[in-house]
Chains A and B, each alone.
Chain A
Amino acid sequence: MTIDLILFLILALVAVVTALSMLFSRNAVYAALFLILNFSTVAVFYLLLNAPFIALTQVTVYAGAIMVLFLFVIMLLGAEETGGMQRTWWLQPAALVSGAVLLGEAVYIILTQVTLLPSAVSPSTSFGTPTSVGEILFNQYLLPFEVTSILLLVAMIGAIVLSRTKPRDRSGS
């Protein structure tokens, strides 16, 4: 249990520090790289929580595909300089206050409600394996899975339509 706790604390520290570095980084490329590190740390948490399939999906989809897309767009636009914080003077204190309220509420709810949770059950050996994920996905969740394919198709068409240059722009007006 103590090794678990030490591992959790180290990983949690890495996750929080990388998230904060992403938030305060001046350079958008560094922000993206910090976020990749954060996603990888969360993938390790998924492994600790008996979710190996989700952990590897996290690495390939989030830390891989999504962040490569981010880096690609940052470098395509040449928008490495992020231009700092909000300039409106009241916005930053207001954001800090609302963030503190949000965190305070969450901590209060966790501290007061956590005793109502049942203690963790010991999972079966197949818990979280690709086999069990696939079984549930293609039996119980077949319809949402098919709807997801339509969603991806719509996103693909939307991205193409949005980033397409109009013909009159191309003729050099």
Chain B
Amino acid sequence: MLPVAYYIGLSAVLFTIGALGVLIRRNAIVIFMSVELMLNAANLAFVAFARNFGEMQGQLFVFFVMTVAAAEVAVGLALIVTIFRNKQSIDVDQMNSMKG
């Protein structure tokens, strides 16, 4: 196996790209995809450390993260659909009022 630092480095790069996507994009769906990318980067670090220490707990944690991500996507996309129905746009710049 390669040193675990390689995988953690890749995970850090992917996480940074995801964070940049959240900061610089205006489309709510692309922002949401960037959040998924960040979750994925964290999962990669979990699996790499699980392999490094020979412990299964890291992989189990990834399993739970995936479940939470699936639930989050279902609710988040329902929110985006509702926002689009109210505003005819999913541009986050236009979501500046607390009441639809």
Contacts and interface: CB of A to CB of B under 8 A. Distances in A.
In this complex, the interface size class of chain A, counting residues with CB under 8 Å from chain B, is: 35 or more
A132 to B, nearest CB: 6
18 contacts: A8-B2, A19-B18, A23-B20, A49-B51, A62-B40, A66-B70, A69-B74, A70-B29, A74-B29, A77-B84, A87-B93, A88-B93, A106-B16, A120-B4, A128-B59, A132-B56, A133-B59, A155-B74
B47 A16 contact: no
A12 B44 CA distance: 12
Nearest to A156: B74
In this complex, the interface size class of chain B, counting residues with CB under 8 Å from chain A, is: 35 or more
Nearest to B62: A54
Nearest to A122: B54
Given A35-B36, A133-B60, 12 more contacts: A20-B17, A22-B37, A23-B24, A49-B1, A54-B59, A57-B63, A57-B66, A70-B29, A73-B77, A110-B9, A120-B54, A155-B74
Contact of A19 (B17, B52, B53): B17
Contacts of B71: 151-152, 154-155
Nearest to B91: A83
A53 B62 CA distance: 11
A164 to B, nearest CB: 9
Nearest to A19: B17
B10 A15 contact: yes
B36 to A, nearest CB: 7
Contacts of A77: 80-81, 84, 90
Given A35-B37, A73-B29, A86-B25, A103 B12 contact: yes
